[in-house]
Amino acid sequence: MILVLISVLVLLSLLFLSVPVASTIAGVGTLVGYFFSDYAIFESIGEVTWSASTDFLLLSIPFFVLLGEILLHSGIAKNIYFALQKWLSWLPGGLLHANIASSAIFSSISGSSVATAATITTVAMPQAEKYGYKAGLFAGTIAAGGTLGILIPPSINLIVYGFLTNTSIPKLFIAGLVPGILLSLLFMGFILIYSLLNKEETVILQKVTWRERFLALKDLLPILILFVLIMGSIYTGFATPTESAALGVLVSLVIVYFNASLSVDVIIKSIKGTVRTTGMIMFIIIAANFLNFVLVSIGLTEDLADFIETLEISKYTMLFIVTVLFIILGLFIETLSLMVITIPIIAPVMIAIGFDSIWFGIYLIILIEMALITPPVGLNLYVVQGIRNKGSITEVMKGCFPFVLIMLLMAFLLVLFPEITLFLVQYV
């Protein structure tokens, strides 16, 4: 346990000093390996790095990122938002519902929360000013809706979790579908109730004809095609997650071409965004894989599991401790970094004491979603504030607070009713 405390202390200290996350993880792995093992571990660095960077499963990450970038820069994401605006703006709360619904739908093909939040903010914030919505709550719905990007499949974070724990990606994807939809509905349910109780703040009803609504459905067709293609190809066995992601990119280019939105500028911007995001993700994954290799080699993971067994606490008490730990760490550590730092140590322990690896993965993702909208390091808060570029980020934080509580409620529901996550998995 002394080794665990020393490692965590060094890790957090380096993060608080703003040392890049990947360098921090690799540095801690090097220190632990140097002081607590023989030099044989370092002879395997090349092999470990090569293994992590060439894994076929991880090739899906740049493809899913590229898919989201193409839809963003081609304007298709903008069309999705305005189509949902026509269908949902009549509800009490108006465009707040469109913010959540468009985030959920864009999440189903982007796989990234930050990309989802950035896309919807760019499109939606001008509408908030046009119709006079309360800025804080409006921005809060976008930031919170953006978190659905790591829960609703295909999710990059679920791919990373599956890679780190050797869990089936198709099963994780299908397990995240119902919780993702349910969480979206809980968000919209809150907006509906809040709007009815505070009519002067949020009820902005727009008159849209049924003809306009049905004409707008054509703008949702590209997303429907891509979602059915990606998920359908995986679950029919036609393609692996990596192959389905590549197929999705190809079909998205065809859709953008026939939408008369394909240009050299769109391609260049999409590739630049993909290289930037993928480089960051892969550097972190490689460093985490090395740290995980070191911890397993020195027997730390097994020792930690044995120590927890000696405590003789129930598995739900342990789950509560892990939940509090993730909430606290989520305040200070970026989400992907939080995953790769903690999962190699915590997941084997939780699975050993009786939790299903797929259920635990979805439960963790919901806790990690909270980290995206809790200060001081909530990425979605800064993405939304940076794009709207007015007012105070405190407004966005206040607007997000109710949704943090809803995520806690969702996590509690998963504990009470694990079949929410697992009942579809049996059909995969």
Q: What is the DSSP letter of 390?
A: S
| Residue count (the chain) | 428
Residue 260, sorted as left (phi over 0), alpha (psi -120 to 50) or beta, turns out to be left
Q: What is the mean pLDDT of the chain?
A: 83
Confidence at residue 39, expressed as pLDDT on a 0 to 100 scale: 61
Least Cα distance to 365 among 177, 232, 237 occurs for 177
- Is residue 48's pLDDT more than 80? no
Query: Per residue in 95-151, pLDDT tens?
Result: 889 899 988 888 777 667 777 787 788 888 888 877 778 878 888 999 898 888 888
> What integer pLDDT is reported at residue 186 of this predicted model?
96
Tell me whether residue 44 is exposed, middle or buried, using C-beta atoms within 10 angstroms of its C-beta: 0 to 12, 13 to 18, 19 or more.
Answer: middle
Residue pLDDT, tens place only, 295-314:
777 776 666 667 766 777 88
How many Cα neighbours within 13 Å face the side chain of 402?
Answer: 19
pLDDT greater at residue 279 or residue 423? 423
Residue 191's CB is within 10 A of a number of other CB atoms, namely: 23
pLDDT in tens, 159-196: 889 988 889 999 999 999 999 999 999 999 999 999 88
Closest by alpha carbon to 154, among 103, 185, 111? Answer: 111
Residue 277: partners with Cβ closer than 8 Å, 6 or more residues away: 65, 112, 115
Judged against a pLDDT cut of 90, whether residue 421 lies above it is answered with: yes
- Is the per-residue pLDDT at 7 higher than 70? no
